[in-house]
Amino acid sequence: MNVTKTNINGVFIIEPKVFKDQRGYFYESYNKLSLGKYGIDYTFVQDNQSQSSYGVIRGLHFQKPPYAQTKLLRVIQGKIIDVAVDIRKGSPTYGQHVALELSDTNFKQLLIPAGFAHGFSVLSETAVVQYKCTDYYHPESEGGIIFNDSDLDINWGIPLDEAIISEKDLNHPTFSEFQTPFTM
């Protein structure tokens, strides 16, 4: 596995070694021992999977402590822009984000630690996204930030007038209105 640090501490790009031949391909999508060599040592307790159509934007979401989640994301089918926004007050990168294209052909994964808001947009006709979480889903601890906040200036890779957004995600506060439950 190749593990690359991003410009935001704690967010990593993980690229598994893919073995291809005439039959297809094989790769380890997760290996705790291999990631541990890079100081990545999380215990994942829940796997989630979603399917979405072109133009869907999901996010920006997080769970508040004590149910905050670290996530390891990958795309099973299709292509997305995956986004992690640093919401750790006191962090030198507070309010900054990492955006990365994940697809079923580049095999890249994004590790997003607790203390980040997460979202993605679908660039392909459909996309199936799978992610591991370090804590269970607790609806009472959900939080969010509006996806199109001008202070965050996220390029979702799709025309926003074509975006498909849930009612819940349309009603999140802006970044300046948002009160973070995370500190460094």
> CA 143, 144, 150 angle in degrees (round to 5)?
155
Residue 61 a catalytic site member: yes
The three-class DSSP label of residue 122 is strand
Of the residues 94, 118, 131, 172, only one is catalytic, namely 131
- Alpha-carbon distance of 75 to 106, in angstroms, equals 9
Question: In this structure, what are the phi and psi dihedrals at residue 108, rounded to the nearest 5 degrees?
Answer: -70, 150
Residue 180's identity, in one-letter code, is T
Residue 172 a catalytic site member: no
Please name every residue paired with 85 in a beta bridge, in sequence order, or none if there are none. 97, 117
**Proportion of the chain in helix, strand, coil states, percent, rounded to 5:** 10, 45, 50
Of the residues 42, 61, 94, 172, only one is catalytic, namely 61
Question: Which residues have CB under 8 Å from 61's CB, separation 6+?
Answer: 117, 118, 119, 142, 143, 144, 169
Active-site residues, by number, are 61, 131
